[in-house]
Amino acid sequence: MSQSEERNAWVTVSSFCRPCRPEPVFEELVTAEVERWTGIAREAGLAPEANIRLARGAEEVTVEVSPALDAYFTPVQTLWKAE
């Protein structure tokens, strides 16, 4: 992956193993996680619908965020020394 592609790659922030059969509690959990990231996106001044996506695979459900939202949420690394 090139540096340009890496900067544009979406980041998986939550991953859930899909239940064998539909379970309302599972759907509530996924919905709550998407809502949590929606709040973070709004706080960052970003449109949630353009910066959060839900991917439903055969065995896994993931919540992914855009590079812009990831950059807002992930603090810059700092170097410090305890004395």
Q: Where are the beta strands (DSSP E) in 1-83?
A: 11-17, 52-56, 60-65
Q: Which long-range contacts (CB under 8 A, 24 or more apart) does 47-55 make?
A: 53/10, 54/30
CA distance 28 to 11: 22
CA distance 83 to 74: 26
Give the pTM.
Answer: 0.79
- Digit-coded pLDDT (tens) for 20-36: 998 999 999 999 999 99
- Digit-coded pLDDT (tens) for 45-69: 999 999 999 999 999 999 999 999 9
